């Protein structure tokens, strides 16, 4: 259960950050709410998907990979899902270097925060940054970046406020 709690907390923090960055709202998520988050990851996915966040109606723009930033402080060395699940992330670097994959054909999902684009596709961004390092000086590697449409203020507030540990059956008063 502790693993699910930690996973839900991490998902909630990432999603709230993405919502906040794309909505550019002054809404603040209290630290206590973030720390008390203990709903299962499944519930957060249901809320997020049902809110329509992932309908990806944002435009795709080509951006220099060095102008896109990471949302994670650390990442796995292997892809976690999709067609490349389980493969080392270096396989994408190799494919880019061989020309089997064109960086401009890839799309990163990102949110805006403090004037920067932050990608939720951290492993793909890492591979693109490594590819950029291998290019001749002055050559700029570009990638497609899509910022999905923002959530309405209520949905953003709901996700930020949701911290029940018992499906809303009761609430505890703070001392």
The CATH number of the domain where 77 resides is what? 3.90.1530
- Is the model more confident about 25 or about 82? 82
Query: Same domain, yes or no, for 64 and 116?
Result: yes
For residue 126, which of 63, 62, 64, 65 has the smallest C-alpha distance?
65
The tens digit of pLDDT for each residue in 3-52 reads: 544 554 555 555 545 544 443 333 344 444 434 333 434 444 444 444 44
Same-domain pairing of 16 and 32: yes
* Total domains present in the chain: 2
Q: Which two tokens stand for residue 142?
A: 């570009």
- Do residue 10 and residue 27 come from a single domain? yes
List helix spans (H) across the chain: 2-23, 31-36, 41-50, 90-98, 122-134, 153-161
Range of lowest pLDDT (69-83, 104-118, 132-146, 159-173): 159-173
Q: Is residue 173 part of a domain?
A: no
**Residue 28 forms part of a structural domain:** yes
Domain region containing 76: 58-147
108-162 tens-digit pLDDT: 988 887 888 889 899 999 999 999 999 999 999 999 999 877 767 777 777 777 7
| Same-domain status, 122 and 137 | yes
Other C-beta atoms lying within 10 Å of the C-beta of residue 117: 17
Residue 174 located in a structural domain: no
Q: Tell me what pLDDT residue 21 has.
A: 47
pLDDT at residue 65 in the model = 96
Which DSSP state fits 114? T
- Do 35 and 76 reside in the same domain of the chain? no
Verify that 50 and 64 share a domain, yes or no: no
The DSSP output letter for 72 is: -
pLDDT for residue 133: 96
Asked whether residue 5 falls in the same domain as residue 51, the answer is yes
pTM above 0.85, yes or no: no
CA distance 148 to 18: 10
């Amino acid at each position: 259960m502790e693993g699910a709690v930690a996973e839900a907390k991490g998902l909630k923090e990432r999603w709230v950050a993405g919502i906040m960055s794309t909505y550019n709202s002054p809404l603040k998520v209290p630290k206590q709410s973030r720390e008390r988050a203990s709903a299962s990851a499944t519930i957060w996915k249901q809320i997020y998907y049902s809110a329509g966040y992932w309908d990806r109606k944002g435009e795709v723009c080509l951006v220099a990979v060095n102008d896109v930033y990471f949302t994670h402080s650390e990442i796995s060395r292997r892809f976690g899902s999709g067609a490349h699940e389980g493969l080392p992330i270096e396989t994408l670097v190799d494919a880019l270097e061989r020309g089997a994959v064109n960086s401009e054909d890839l799309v990163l999902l990102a949110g805006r925060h403090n004037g920067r684009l932050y990608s939720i596709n951290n492993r793909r961004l890492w591979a693109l940054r490594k590819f950029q390092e291998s290019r001749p000086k002055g050559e700029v590697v570009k990638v497609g970046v899509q910022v999905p449409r923002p959530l309405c203020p209520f949905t953003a507030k709901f996700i930020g406020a949701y911290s029940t540990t018992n499906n809303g059956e009761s609430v505890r008063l703070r001392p």
